Structure 1
Amino acid sequence: MNITATVDTATTNMIVTMLAEGSPVWFVAGMVKMRNHDVYLIGRAAGYPDKAQLRRAVWAQKNRTRVPQAQAQALAA
């Protein structure tokens, strides 16, 4: 089952933002009342543990820009 399909966009954005700010996975999981593993999977889909990549994902979402094709393929891997 794909966890990102069952979590709304606002929660996903909040998780990615908190991870980009440097919050540990266990802390984010407690804040959003999810399992650590699920938060980790959402973060990993956005580039976790690379904080620069997470910040780019947050920036792209806020500015509604497209993710470059190479980065989209890297995220899918």
Structure 2
Amino acid sequence: MNITTDTRNMIINMLAEGSPVWYVAGMVKMRNHDVYAVGREAGYPDKAQLRRAVWAARNRALQAA
């Protein structure tokens, strides 16, 4: 599964906002299983852990700038 960093971030953001896996899969044109796998790496279904992953990514981007 080759996905870009932007797509991975979009998936994690949408899952952290509460969007269901099937909806996110439709938006990024991927299979449900692949979206679930990306989310699982970031802590899905724990929304608090997903939010921490989003904030960590934002902090890394700010520090790199």
TM-score when scaled to structure 1? Answer: 0.77
| Structure 2 runs not aligned, ≥5 long | none
- Which structure 2 residues correspond to residues 38-49 of structure 1 after superposition, within 5 A? 38-49=34-45
Amino acid aligned to 1:21 = E
1:52 matches 2:45:
no
Counterpart mapping for 1:1-77 below 5 A: 3=1, 6-64=2-60
Amino acid at match of 2:6: A
**3-state SS in 2 of match to 1:64:** helix
Higher relative contact order (CA 8 A, sep 6+): 2
Structure 1 gaps, min length 5: 66-77
Taking only the aligned residue pairs, the percentage that are identical comes to 75
**Matched positions, count:** 61
RMSD value, Cα = 1.1
Once superposed, which parts of structure 1, at least 4 consecutive aligned residues long, lie more than 6 Å away?
A: none
